[in-house]
């Protein structure tokens, strides 16, 4: 492992008030999103959609990296340039989703364990040759009355650490993504407690597995009320609680924390990120790694029609610019009205 090269990539991913575009939806997930706008999901339509996103003029001003899916990293732009090469040419780092999804956890079927470690070393070597310089692995921690169990948290933390170690061996920066889900009726206090336990287990395992913290990125949930909770925490409360939990459990050596949106609306995810950066006084860069919160408006504007590509790109750039401003703590609601 050449740590200096990993550090350079990780620092590039969080530099300049830029963030990540998560475009790593599985074929099944993107089929559902296409169905909602009346577009058939084929290899060609998925390629056209990703082409629309990646070739948006000025994307590199706000986006530092793009998380790709296995199919996408093997595809080319409509002008016949491999997507990974095209993004690299813009100064955007190509990345790749490498997990195989969350499956029922043995002996605790209400919980999930992420699979995909078998054959990962060889897949990472191939993805590096295809141009990927970072990877992503998502663990899912659900909250209800009797879960999560310590067993689930430990099992997922160990898998994340094994994945991260293999990534660094392959000279690929690992994004470590332990997501405490916002489904459910729990309050922000319960989310905070579970997030603290999860992050403690994750960093204990990262240490045990010899993962260099300077050469990784953390992609956590924000500390937030469950979607069904009758008392939703304010934007300021979410910002304060999230920073409190992160300061308690995330070492300063980690270059950046790039939040997932986790089902929040696009505007709320941006407002929460902005509020955290307004509070400042934290040792890591705070940025975004959003999927739906960046893409939803763009997808709706595009509608699978070539003559609407510019409208889709304009919607993407608007959201990316708003989130870039949130990284600087300068986002305002007026930016939404201006659009």
Which helix (H) or strand (E) is 268 found in, with range? helix 266-279
* Gap between the Cα atoms of 132 and 87, Å rounded: 10
* Gap between the Cα atoms of 172 and 70, Å rounded: 16
* Burial of 272 (C-beta count, 10 Å sphere; 0-12/13-18/19+): buried
In the chain, the DSSP E strands lie at: 19-22, 63-68, 93-97, 102-105, 108-114, 134-141, 173-180, 217-218, 256-259, 285-290
Q: What pLDDT is attached to residue 281?
A: 82
Q: What pLDDT is attached to residue 312?
A: 96
Q: What pLDDT is attached to residue 263?
A: 87
Q: What pLDDT is attached to residue 302?
A: 95
The predicted-structure confidence for 129-153, as pLDDT tens digits, reads as follows: 999 999 999 999 999 989 999 999 9
What's the total number of domains in the chain? 1
Return the closest-CA partner of residue 224 out of 215, 212, 236, 214: 236
Q: What is the CATH number of the domain that holds 205?
A: 3.20.20.70
Could you say which of 97, 136, 219, 285 is catalytic?
Answer: 219
* Gap between the Cα atoms of 40 and 157, Å rounded: 37
Could you say which of 177, 179, 205, 241 is catalytic?
Answer: 177
CA distances from 100 to 23, 83, 225, 253 (A): 16, 22, 28, 29
The alpha carbon of residue 2 and the mean position of all alpha carbons in its chain are separated, in whole angstroms, by 24
User: Looking at the DSSP assignment, which residues form a beta bridge with residue 295?
Assistant: none
Annotated catalytic residue 205 = no
| Phi, psi (degrees; rounded to nearest 5) at 4 | -60, -40
* Gap between the Cα atoms of 78 and 217, Å rounded: 31
Q: What pLDDT is attached to residue 338?
A: 66
* Gap between the Cα atoms of 248 and 255, Å rounded: 16
| pLDDT under 70: residue ranges of the chain | 1, 338-339
Annotated catalytic residue 247 = no
**Checking DSSP bridges between strand 173-180 and strand 217-218, what pairing results, if any?**
parallel
* Gap between the Cα atoms of 63 and 240, Å rounded: 26
Q: What pLDDT is attached to residue 339?
A: 60
Return the closest-CA partner of residue 61 out of 338, 333, 323: 323
Q: What pLDDT is attached to residue 251?
A: 97
CA distances from 172 to 131, 175, 197, 243 (A): 10, 10, 27, 27
For 109-144, the DSSP string reads EEEEEE---TTHHHHHHHHHHTT--EEEEEEEE--S
* Gap between the Cα atoms of 184 and 227, Å rounded: 6
Helices (H) and strands (E) counted in the chain, each on its own, are 13, 10
* Gap between the Cα atoms of 202 and 225, Å rounded: 22
CA distances from 259 to 69, 120, 150, 208, 333 (A): 19, 25, 24, 24, 20
Q: What pLDDT is attached to residue 132?
A: 98
What is the domain extent for residue 110? 3-338
Q: What pLDDT is attached to residue 321?
A: 97
Q: How many C-beta atoms lie closer than 10 Å to residue 42's C-beta?
A: 11
* Gap between the Cα atoms of 291 and 22, Å rounded: 4
Q: What pLDDT is attached to residue 3?
A: 84
* Gap between the Cα atoms of 62 and 56, Å rounded: 11
Return the closest-CA partner of residue 68 out of 106, 34, 105, 94: 94
């Amino acid at each position: 492992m050449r740590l200096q090269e990993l550090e350079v990539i990780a620092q590039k991913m969080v530099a300049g008030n830029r963030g990540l575009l998560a475009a790593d939806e599985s074929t099944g997930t993107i089929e559902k999103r296409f169905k909602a706008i009346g577009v058939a999901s084929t290899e060609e339509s998925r390629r056209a959609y990703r082409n629309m996103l990646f070739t948006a003029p000025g994307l590199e001003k706000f986006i530092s990296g793009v998380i790709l899916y296995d199919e996408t990293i093997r595809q080319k732009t409509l002008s016949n340039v491999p997507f990974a090469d095209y993004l690299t040419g813009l100064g955007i780092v190509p990345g790749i989703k490498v997990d195989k999804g969350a499956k029922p956890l043995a002996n605790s079927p209400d919980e999930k364990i992420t699979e995909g470690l078998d054959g990962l070393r060889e897949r990472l070597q191939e993805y590096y040759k295809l141009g990927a310089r970072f990877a992503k692995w998502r663990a899912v921690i659900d909250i209800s009355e009797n879960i999560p169990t310590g067993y689930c948290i430990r099992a997922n933390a160990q898998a994340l650490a094994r994945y991260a170690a293999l990534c660094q061996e392959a000279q690929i920066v690992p994004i470590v993504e332990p997501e405490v889900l916002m489904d459910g009726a729990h309050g922000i206090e319960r989310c905070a407690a579970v997030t603290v336990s999860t992050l403690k287990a994750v960093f204990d395992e990262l240490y045990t597995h010899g993962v260099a913290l300077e050469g990784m990125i953390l992609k956590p949930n924000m500390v937030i009320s469950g979607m069904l909770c009758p008392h939703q925490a304010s934007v300021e409360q979410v910002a304060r609680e999230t920073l409190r939990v992160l300061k308690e459990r995330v070492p300063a050596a980690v270059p950046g924390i790039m939040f997932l949106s986790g089902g929040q609306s696009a505007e709320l995810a941006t407002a929460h990120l902005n509020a955290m950066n307004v509070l400042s006084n934290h040792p890591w860069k705070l940025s975004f790694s959003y999927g739906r919160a960046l893409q939803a408006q763009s997808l709706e504007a595009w509608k699978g029609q070539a003559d609407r590509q510019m409208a889709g790109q304009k919607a993407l750039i608007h959201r990316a610019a708003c989130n870039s401003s949130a990284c600087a703590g300068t986002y305002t609601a007026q930016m939404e009205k201006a659009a």
